[in-house]
Amino acid sequence: MAKKTVSQLDVNNKRVLVRVDFNVPINEQGQITDDRRIVAALPTIKSIIDRGGKAILMSHLGRPKGGPEAKYSLKPTAVRLAELLKKPVKTSDDCIGASTAAMVNAMAAGEILVLENTRFHKGEEKNDPALAAELAKLGDLYVNDAFGTAHRQHASTFGVPAALGAGKRAIGFLIEKELKFLGHALDHPVRPFVAILGGAKVSDKIAVIENLLSKADTVLIGGAMAYTFFLAQGKNIGKSLCEKDKVGLAAELLAKAGGKLVLPVDTVVSDQISDTAQTQVVAGNIPADKEGLDIGPATAELYRAKIAGAKTVVWNGPMGVFEKKPFQNGTRVVAEAMASITSHGATTIIGGGDSAAAIEQFHLADKVSHVSTGGGASLEFMEGKGFACLDILDNA
């Protein structure tokens, strides 16, 4: 998907509307607890202001219920952005309206304005043309650098570039990087290509599994989704999470996979989820009073070996309840194996969400090729879906 990038736009003295993803966690004290998404947007913002553009940043934060809510204000993100850039960042009290327009019109070249949460207007998620038109009036150019929302046709992601028209629309450096890594891995992988899928639900990843079975050489399964596959094989799964209505589908996927789909050979089980839980390792059937909560040590070593032989690895979803110490070994082994092959030239991609949280927890995020900023967006990309919000942007 060769798209025009922000570097190809003449931004000098132009108002540049930038859709960023500043949907970051903020605690009750108003402090940002993870600023990775803000940091990820810095190259695009710097490119605009360093070349004399006026950067007008749009984002959502949280799920406000159809109106302004103080806890979802973007003002803390502007404070953090100013700290990172070491320069002033202004904020508006709304993303549209006369006072916001006046602030935009008063901007000098190289200045930055963070608009208030776009989801304070119900029209944002409905891609309301009136809201999109109001937002579009604030800019001469449009840049989308919010991969985490690129799969959603909202006013700020689709309506605004549609209103501005051709010749004025580009992707930022973050989306360029996401497309480079995820797109290349899926369409032109250096083989062997191993995909690793975990998490709770098979239903969330059916389309991903089907797409990857046609592209990857091996698909490793972990997390609670494995137990739906176990049921399909006729195994007992005790109290483990599963989707009984998806057992037939799991059986079909196993039949279709022809050996490509690799399931755990042992499981860490317990009767409680805590940092002090008593555990045991079982191969085959899980006892009736126990729950599977991580892949077992034999599986972890099997998966380590599969990863060790790969040249391209894409991982989405943890192997177990990695937040609790007794159940983090499987996820840790996968993370360490990916870091190891990265140092030998392999391409390793973490598909956002819980996998990104895990690789951060194990302090290995800088030891892999790419950690995606989009959870749901990464999944949809791995399904092979096109993104209308990117399709509408100008081609290179």
Higher pLDDT, 36 or 52: 52
Q: Is 37 a catalytic residue?
A: yes
Give the pLDDT confidence score for residue 1 in this predicted structure.
Answer: 58
Give the pLDDT confidence score for residue 345 in this predicted structure.
Answer: 95
* Residue whose pair of structure tokens reads 């302004």 in the numeric block: 68
Per-residue pLDDT of 254-272, as tens digits, reads 999 988 999 999 999 999 9
Higher pLDDT, 36 or 99: 99
**Residue 351's pLDDT band (boundaries 50, 70, 90)?**
confident
Question: Which residue in the list 4, 36, 201, 239 is annotated as catalytic?
Answer: 201
Cα–Cα distance measured from residue 199 to residue 220, given in angstroms and rounded to the nearest whole number:
12
Cα–Cα distance measured from residue 295 to residue 265, given in angstroms and rounded to the nearest whole number:
8
Give the pLDDT confidence score for residue 338 in this predicted structure.
Answer: 97
Q: Is 201 a catalytic residue?
A: yes
Question: Which residue in the list 123, 159, 353, 374 is annotated as catalytic?
Answer: 353
Question: Which residue in the list 15, 37, 169, 205 is annotated as catalytic?
Answer: 37
For residues 170-185, give the mean pLDDT: 92
Does 3.30.300.130 match the CATH number of domain 6-175? no
Establish how many alpha carbons lie within 13 A of residue 348's alpha carbon, considering only the half-sphere containing its beta carbon.
26
Q: What is the dihedral of CA 223, 250, 150, 165, to 10 degrees?
A: 170
> Per-residue pLDDT for 352 more than 80?
no
**Residue 343's pLDDT band (boundaries 50, 70, 90)?**
very high
**Residue 311's pLDDT band (boundaries 50, 70, 90)?**
very high
Q: Is 353 a catalytic residue?
A: yes
Whole-prediction pTM value? 0.87
Q: What percent of the chain has pLDDT over 90?
A: 84
Per-residue pLDDT of 263-299, as tens digits, reads 999 999 999 999 999 999 999 899 999 999 999 999 9
In the chain, list all ranges with CATH 3.40.50.1260: 6-175, 189-382
Question: Which residue in the list 52, 62, 110, 376 is annotated as catalytic?
Answer: 376
Does 3.40.50.1260 match the CATH number of domain 189-382? yes
Q: Is 36 a catalytic residue?
A: no
